[in-house]
Structure 1
Amino acid sequence: MNYLKELNTFHEWLDTNPLPSGAIVLWYTLMALNNKTNWQGEFTVANGTLQAKTGLSRQQLHRARTDLINAGRIKYKKSNRVNQAGKYSIVSFDTRDGHKADTEEYTNRTQSGQELSTLVKHKQDINKTKHIPSLANARVIHLAEQYFISISERDKYLLNDFCDELGEELITEALNRAKTELKGFKYALGIIRNWSQKGIQSIDEVRKDDENFEFYKQRKYGNGQHMPEYDPDLDGF
């Protein structure tokens, strides 16, 4: 199985076959685990392992697995033994892997709106892998959906791009801050933009920026003057 080709095709397939973020996270995780087994037809993995790697709860894992099965992207065999892990198999997009019907269905759906070759070539000309969310990026998008309920497709693309730039740890920190402050996704995105504009690349730099901001507040508003509420759409102080 060609790992990169599967990732690219999966991303294209999602354009006409959208999946919940939890299912996307699970698919990436199963692909990574199957890669480690040198692409065995079937591989065993415990629910606890998948929960740890995806950040999904047991209920979310079950739902994501069901979504992937219904979409025809994986097969799953539950063990008959108690506390025995089930077996997974990835349904490849490659016709040479014996899944011609699935691939033909995908190709027909995609070509109904635009020729697949043209679509792939256009995106490869921009950047072959730029818009393919990594596992880390998919986890971030899933977390944002958990915190803020509804995230638009545009916002998902923004998160994906910012995660490529700043990394999963910083984006997660921004989402956690917005949730703690009982703010919405726009607030989190403002924090992320602010860090991006300042060139911040690590949690240590975030803490330093926080200290500078506190020092600024003390100097300007230490006399009891009311400080305006932080607006994340501004460039910052």
Structure 2
Amino acid sequence: MNYLKQILAFYDSLELNPLNSSEIALWHALMSINNKSAWSTTFTVASSVLCLRSGLKQANFFKTRNTLQQKGFIVWESRGGNVAAKYQIKVLYHDVSTNSVDSSRDNEPLSTYSVGTSRDSRIDSSRDNSIGSSRALNKHKLKQNKKETSNSNNDDDERKSLFEFYQQEIGVLSPLVNQELDYSIQDFTDEGTSEQETIEIIKLAITRSVENNARSWKYTQAILSDWLKHSLFTLENIKASQNQHSSYSNQPQNYDIAGDELPY
């Protein structure tokens, strides 16, 4: 499965087949687990793990899962008793080539991947539903990536390195933070910055957050917003601005992070 094509197709589909925030969060949680399974055709995961990753409570989880299946986003199958359910994520995009690797993978009987040891009946209901975002979750789609098809694999690798860097420096990459990172990439590429340089800019913002003892996406996002506000769209301009600031003050630069609280 091509992760970026799947994300774009998902938000395209929301225009005609809308989902609420809980359903979007659960779909992203399933995508994250399927990604870790190297896109196995089917995989198993305990409901407790999905509740933790999506921020859903037990009372809402089963209804949300059924809705995703009814609307054609996933297929799930109960295996009886307290055994974790089996899932399959439906591929939402269509390649031009009828012999595409993605479509052939969908038809192959790959082994099932299992996540978590928790039983379905032991759902952790202590987790509050902390789904929220400073940007509306009803953004129906990301703008089309203007890179050539031949560069799509490189883009995947670059984004993967960013996600890994975030988890290493700040912490767990929730589905919502994953989506916010995509939006931040789009913000800079819309200004003419290449995706590769944009990813390095976001990594720099993450590093600045760590240096200021503010390991959170909220602080990192504030740094990025400040650079955009001051039309700093390249690494060279950003570093030049920071050097100029340092020449006037040895104090760390403060960023305005007032506003709605983010759950990460």
TM-score bracket relative to the smaller structure: 0.3 to 0.5
Q: TM-score with structure 2 length normalisation?
A: 0.41
**Greater RCO, CA 8 A, separation 6+:** 2
Q: TM-score with structure 1 length normalisation?
A: 0.45
